[in-house]
Homo-oligomer: A and B are copies of this chain.
């Protein structure tokens, strides 16, 4: 035996073969049971079959390797010694539970069998031993049902039907109405049912039972639910599950027995107070089932909840104290808030599980800060304890959990936060009403860049179409507006008078409430509560900033967004999209005039009108960002985005702006593109119409000069988009430099500025060494880089991505989390090549990924200098960047 591998690890009876560090081998549950047993805590003895054996099991075509049988027998014998019982012995039978337990928690995904070891003989022994015949036969029928369902493939519906029929025929209503004699009859019927299905009787051999249950748990690692869960949570199939076989303890052995769950601190608020509930004379499943109302653990909680039934502190004072001692021991040991399962069997406390407890963002912050104050963990540990993405909950208003609500529909939670307002279907109207002081919710089939002003004016946005990365979603997140996208059952009436959803009609002007965090849309106004950025939040942020290597900037165009970003701790602007400034009603006229110009001279006349407007935009922005760097991207979208499209829109624009409708139509037609994403945009506009970029460069440099006179200057970083080749950049850089020189000469002053480029095309990444000759900085535009690397249009992917997710072909939406193997490889390549040419090149990311914690981890590893994200994600990025830096230090 000594040369064989160890596949079975015992725990309990004061010793353990394993410990908490062995999660990969023993699974989370098994490792923690071993750890608790080593700590001397009262853990029912048992053993864990390793995850390695699971892998071997599958490699061996689902069969047991030689030697495993013997190891299991020896381990069973050891349990028997500890508890003084014997597996399969009629007089004093050992009963066991068989549970799965993978490296990562997969709640409810895999199978469990309880009360194993019961058969027609041992059940009689159990009855005698417990002195409770009803308990014994109830346990046996539960076992037959569970085992048949899980191991033998006879669905539990069959047994539920038998039980229902029996109760009906015998005028019983509740299970508790059945006595031992009743259960015996039910058991006979159950066994007949099994034999009817399988053509052979329910197994009476307890070893056969155990073997079947272990096989079933291993098998459940690859059941559909588990496969799906793994896919959704990125858990590799190769990890496998462990199997935990453990002596049964019973919380349903009378009034001195109980079962419960507890958290060592409040998982909702983080308060340092025991939190949990229990049921007397019950099994774990009864707590979950919710038939009886569980009682609180402590007197304090009981009072707070206005409960009348006694708390555990009162009902079982001694055991309660024992439990508290366990809590304290575990928290000190694990240095984290614990989520615990326990059972009290006839006055004796047994610990069934411990693990780090899930918690709200608010609780995570408080627990981290408190534990740091208590000296339990370091500041760095505290930073690592808060899930960056969870902060989103704290940064936006949310629905008052107590407020009544009337749900209309549910779409995608596209931009978090909650808001109420009157329904408006048109962006101009939204803006008008907002100016008049109304709160409005913009409801659209989908949004386009022409809706920017309406979205800005609205308190919230709802669209019928589009996904998490649709225009509406991206812009709303950028603006911090709550947004629900892709509410597919919502139909807007053609005349724009109302929308209907599931048969209900909501008219223009009626109140609705949008919850962008859940994707729900409610009728009427639902009360909201404002976010509280508590002292804990601020403390953790300060600690995070100490650990952070990368800078965090924001993507912002308006002074308001910039101010929000700065308040959230942004250290500059990483992406100012100048075209967003072009949609202002006053400006769009001049923009269209420029687009319709027949000659460079005419275009320059129109550009001259835009210059003072752009300059004042930049001045406002630079004032807000005083002392910080601001990256301004020159015009990026294709020109047709600024023109009306439908005939009626064209007529309207022509009428209101005095432009000839025919000319407008012709130009709009000529500018149409088959693939606008790959068309005449970005620096390609700059090459065709250098005067546009020259105007923008002039506006930037003039604004910087004027602002620098009155305070700490900004460093403008002029960014040329969509560069595919060095020559594009050098051609345009030359022109920008000439403009800057001219402005400096006119103003008799000078200031620092930089010229760089987006890396958003594969070719730019592949030739980054050449591009870095001219670029003083790179900003990775990972939205477009993902589109081109995958050959995947963000706007069109919605039609087939669901199939991809369903088939398991795509694990994560690459527009949400940066694809490390394709897009990431290009980023790494560009970083290496860029630094080779220009060692001090500044490197950042300004795609949507800049606010995604997993992507931030990737770019920390890739060695970028900063991330830039929407203002409301700045705190998330600060925390994620800190965690990523710490993770590297720990490597």
Contact = CB atoms under 8 A, between A and B. Distances in A.
A771 B777 CA distance: 34
A787 B678 CA distance: 8
A856 B770 CA distance: 25
Interface stretch (A247-255, A268-276, A450-458, A668-676): A668-676
Contacts of A822: 724-725, 762-763, 766-767
Given A687-B809, A688-B800, A790 B724 contact: yes
Interface in A16-48: none
Interface in A803-822: 803-804, 807-810, 819, 821-822
B788 A789 contact: yes
A152 interface: no
A786 to B, nearest CB: 9
Interface string A823-863: 10110000000000000000000000000000000000000
A826 B680 contact: no
Range, interface on chain A: 35 or more
A722 interface: yes
Given A766-B789, A766-B821, A687 B803 contact: yes
Given A677-B674, A687-B803, A724 B762 contact: no
Interface stretch (A138-146, A232-240, A347-355, A791-799): A791-799
A721 to B, nearest CB: 11
Interface in A671-710: 673-680, 684, 687-688
Contacts of A724: 789-792, 822
Given A676-B674, A676-B675, A796-B674, A789 B761 contact: yes
Per assembly, the copies of the chain total 2
A379 interface: no
Given A788-B791, A789-B763, A819-B763, A673 B796 contact: yes
A655 to B, nearest CB: 26
Contact of A678 (B688, B796, B807): B796
A428 interface: no
A784 interface: yes
A537 to B, nearest CB: 39
A458 to B, nearest CB: 24
Nearest to A678: B793
A762 B725 contact: no
A784 B793 contact: no
B766 A800 contact: no
Contacts of A804: 684, 687
A862 to B, nearest CB: 15
Interface string A747-787: 00000000000001111001100100000000000001001
A486 to B, nearest CB: 15
A638 to B, nearest CB: 9
Interface in A716-759: 722, 724-725, 727-728, 731
A687 B808 CA distance: 11
A809 B676 contact: no
B809 A725 contact: yes
B680 A796 contact: yes
Nearest to A799: B680
A725 B675 contact: no
A678 B821 contact: no
A731 B675 contact: no
A635 to B, nearest CB: 14
A798 to B, nearest CB: 9
Contacts of A796: 673-676, 678-680
A547 to B, nearest CB: 32
A678 B791 contact: yes
| Most chain B C-beta atoms within 10 Å of own C-beta, residue among A674, A677, A762, A825 | A762
A796 B821 CA distance: 30
Contacts of A797: 679
Given A788-B762, A822-B762, A826-B766, A674 B793 contact: yes
Nearest to A723: B791
Nearest to A683: B809
| Most chain B C-beta atoms within 10 Å of own C-beta, residue among A727, A760, A763, A803 | A763
Contact of A763 (B675, B688, B791, B800): B791
A790 B809 contact: no
A794 to B, nearest CB: 9
A803 B766 contact: no
B791 A784 contact: yes
Interface in A408-427: none
Contact of A762 (B687, B722, B762, B784): B762
Interface string A318-331: 00000000000000
A434 to B, nearest CB: 29
A791 B785 CA distance: 9
A724 to B, nearest CB: 5
A795 B731 contact: no
Contact of A688 (B731, B789, B803): B803
Nearest to A688: B803
Contacts of A675: 675-678, 793, 795-796
| Most chain B C-beta atoms within 10 Å of own C-beta, residue among A787, A793, A823 | A793
A699 to B, nearest CB: 23
Contacts of A673: 793, 795-796
A790 B763 contact: yes
A673 B794 CA distance: 11
Contacts of A760: 791
A722 B821 contact: no
Contacts of A770: 821
11 contacts: A673-B795, A677-B678, A678-B788, A678-B793, A687-B804, A687-B807, A762-B762, A762-B791, A766-B821, A784-B791, A788-B789
Given A684-B804, A687-B809, A767-B821, 14 more contacts: A674-B676, A675-B675, A675-B795, A677-B678, A684-B800, A687-B807, A724-B789, A724-B791, A727-B810, A762-B822, A762-B826, A763-B821, A767-B822, A788-B788
